[in-house]
Chain A
Amino acid sequence: MYCVFCRSEDLPAQWAYRGLKQRGLAPLEIFTPEALVYNRRLEHRFQAGETITRIELADGRVLDSDRVRGVLNRINFLPVEHFNVAGLDDRAYAVQEQQAIFLSWMYALPGEVINRPGARGLCGDHRSAAEWVWLATQAGLPVLPFHQSDEQPLEFTPTNPTFQLVVFDSEVYGASAHWCQADLRNSIGRLAELSRLRLIGLDFSISSAGEPLVMSATTLPDLRLGGEILLDALIAVFA
């Protein structure tokens, strides 16, 4: 089976789910973080060199790692409200342990997992704005001037037009991709490699001189910006 892990209000993920289904990816199911967390039974086992996971959901479905062939992963946060009945210290511990378990079984899933969890995030390693800007400079990308201090909150309110490009397996997708000359595309590809993420949204601001400058990046790009061509690229990986 193929899975889309996403929140129910994640419209780009819902769009991708419909597009992948129309292209014949089957069986394909959506699993929300609530459905996965509020399960009836979870078994995550390390034995004889292999890792297996079996989750029986409240709605009767079973997520069995032996049957998973691919995942489009858009889960970055897990529900924690059910821990509110506990004291502060116990609550904090329970939240951390829940995160730890989910990081482990999601990371262990077989097949193509886009994006596979990292130690710093369930949807791939989370990075701060400073880290993304620094990584972009390492990749040779022009960046928006970045400044951070303890005296004022970090804010991004660019007055110039902005746009997002979707980057999947180091390739650029999106209507604004026409901004990307060959050098820029190559640098974007380098950024994707440096980040070790297969799917990112790269946010640009356009300078007064018309130059696209990297502002930040996200592991949850608006997939719709990538259009049908992006869906074709996803199906090529999964199928």
Chain B
Amino acid sequence: MVASALDDMDAPYLVFNQRRFADAHLEFSIQGELIIGRLCVQGREFPLDAFAGVYNRMIDDQALPEVRNLPPDHPDRLRCHRLHDALLQWIEITPARVINRMAAMASNGSKPYQMQLIRQHGFATPETLITNDPELARQFYRQH
């Protein structure tokens, strides 16, 4: 859908399929206030400062079918992780517009924590109980 929209705009874009990590290479340096580096995908090289925006939909690299059954110290698995780690680190700091950086999405990992943030912004939130006490849970259920 995003690619189609970019096509309609005649905007150049690159799709990085993380399952094809074997054909990809990334390196970057922080030099003063500049992030300098390159992303190589299937023989094509792109300077990192050429990217104006990033749409990140990657999954945990350790869950990729190509590596998930490999031993933890298998060279392919290690390299796959290094590539994704470098890519995610660049995504977090690049001045390009990113949808979404990990920092922005991190609160999704804890709904009760996120609920507190939502409440701080003035929204009403439902009464909630988190407990390992079965009787407290039953009381809450009866009440609500």
Contacts and interface: CB of A to CB of B under 8 A. Distances in A.
Interface of A: 39, 41-49, 51, 96, 99-101, 103-105, 107-108, 117-120, 125, 128-131, 133-134, 137-138, 143, 145-154
Given A100-B111, A149-B26, A150-B25, A45 B128 contact: yes
B50 interface: no
A150 B125 contact: no
Q: How large is the interface on B (under 10, 10 to 19, 20 to 34, 35 or more residues)?
A: 35 or more
B4 interface: no
A42 B133 CA distance: 7
Given A51-B116, A130-B90, A43 B128 contact: no
A212 to B, nearest CB: 16
A205 B128 CA distance: 48
B35 A134 contact: yes
Given A43-B136, A104-B130, A147-B27, A128 B92 contact: yes
B17 interface: no
29 contacts: A39-B132, A41-B131, A42-B130, A42-B132, A43-B131, A45-B131, A46-B115, A46-B129, A48-B127, A104-B110, A105-B112, A107-B116, A108-B116, A119-B103, A125-B106, A129-B89, A130-B90, A133-B30, A134-B35, A147-B28, A148-B28, A148-B85, A148-B86, A149-B82, A150-B25, A150-B79, A151-B25, A151-B82, A152-B82
B102 A120 contact: yes
A43 B112 CA distance: 13
A180 B143 CA distance: 59
A43 B24 CA distance: 48
Given A44-B131, A45-B128, A149 B86 contact: yes
A228 B77 CA distance: 47
A134 B110 contact: no
Nearest to B103: A120
A103 B110 contact: yes
Given A43-B131, A45-B129, A104-B110, A130 B89 contact: yes
Nearest to B126: A46
Contacts of A129: 89
Contacts of B103: 119-120, 125
Interface in B15-52: 24-33, 35
B93 interface: yes
Contact of B112 (A39, A100, A133, A147): A100
Given A119-B109, A151-B25, A131 B130 contact: no
B112 A46 contact: yes
Given A119-B109, A145-B29, A128 B131 contact: no
A104 B113 contact: yes
A99 B110 contact: yes
